[in-house]
Structure formats: C-alpha cells, structure tokens
Amino acid sequence: MPNSIALGIPGVRIAPGDHLCAFYRGLAERDKILIPYLSEGLRRGDKCICVVDATDPEVVLTALAADLDLGPYLSSQQLDVQRSSDTYLREGRFSTPLMLDFWDQAVGGALAHGFSFTRAVGEMTWSLRQMPGVDELIGYESKLNLFLPRYPQVILCLYDLDRFSGAVLMDVLKTHPKVLVGGIVFDNPYYLEPDEFLAIRQ
C-alpha cells in the first residue's frame, strides 16, 4: 500500500487510515471536494462509498458522469452512493453502534469482494434533523477513529460551515486528526485521541 494517495484536488495527498473533516459553504463548494474525491478513487480502483444528505444520490451520479462513464463502476459495485436516510438514519434514528456496523459491513464487504482499498465520504447535515440519536454525532466521530485502522481505507466527513454551530464545529475539530479547508489538508492540532476525548465528555 502506498504511503499516500491523491485526494482528488490537485496537489493534495492523504494517507491510508486518514479520518478527515472538510469544511465548506454550500453545495457548490461541497461538490468541489466531493466529486474530485470520488472521481480520483474510481480511477484508482478504490471502492467508493458516498452518503449524501442535502441532495439525492442522482445529483452526485450526474456530476460524476460529466467526466466518467459510470456504467462499469456501477455494474461492478465499485461506486455506491446512498442516502442518509438509508444509512446514518436507517431505522428512523441514529445509533453509533449501528452506523459503525454499517461501515464494518460495507468496507469489510468491499475487501471480501476484491477491492484493496476503500474511500468513504459522508455529508453530515443529517445530524441537524430533529431525530432520536443525532446527539451522538460527536461521540460517533471520535469512535470512528478506532475503526479506521481495521481496514485499508480513508473516511472524509463533510461539514457545511453555514449549517453547524461554532460549538459543534469545535467538537468536530477535536475528533478528526486531519482537516481539509481551502483545498489544503492540515494536521489538526485540536485533535484528541478517542480515549481522552470521550473521557472528557463523560
């Protein structure tokens, strides 16, 4: 496995095992991160798992199709774009154990089907809905760091700066080792290891 892989934005590289948060404003900026990230993964042969919330999956597929023939990627199940209602909020609520189990089955299943690397991305605005369990968001993000080393993978979490409060975004910073902002990936000095962060929140 290489020490670093292209994120999809020119000149930006990430490392296998990275858990990044990306900050943006609005759908146009979201797609400037999301579409190149998925396109690069498809070209590399990565299993690409995308969960969107603010738009339907078809919007992402249409954007990807502008530069790629998606037929082979969809028929081989290399590309999987899902709704938050079928993933984060399936069963009508959010549950950290259920979502970690979702990733375990999705990423582990991809490896079992011959993919050597998975890149996942989730649009996190689902957590703003008035639904049971959404207050588990930050604890979930912290625990996701314990999941990353289990498989060859990267996970990118998308946060719209216009939708989340400053307090939530500060906690988001504490739960992601790396941050993508302005087209640059930074090592995050505010990051806390899960044991430390979760102990503080108890």
Please say if the pLDDT value at position 1 is more than 90: no
Q: What is the pLDDT of residues 38-48, one digit of tens each?
A: 999 999 999 99
Amino acid residing at 113: H
The pTM is what? 0.95
Q: What is the pLDDT of residues 148-195, one digit of tens each?
A: 999 999 999 999 999 999 999 999 999 999 999 989 999 999 999 999
Cβ–Cβ under 8 Å, residues 199 and 41 = no
Please say if the pLDDT value at position 3 is more than 90: no
Q: What's the CATH code, domain 27-163?
A: 3.40.50.300
Return d(Cα 72, Cα 200) in angstroms, integer.
Answer: 47
Please say if the pLDDT value at position 200 is more than 90: no
Residue 23: phi and psi, rounded to 5, are -105, 140
How confident is the model at residue 8, as a pLDDT? Answer: 95
3-class SS of residue 173: helix
Going from N- to C-terminal start, the domains of the chain cover 27-163
- Is residue 2 very low, low, confident or very high in pLDDT (cuts 50, 70, 90)? confident
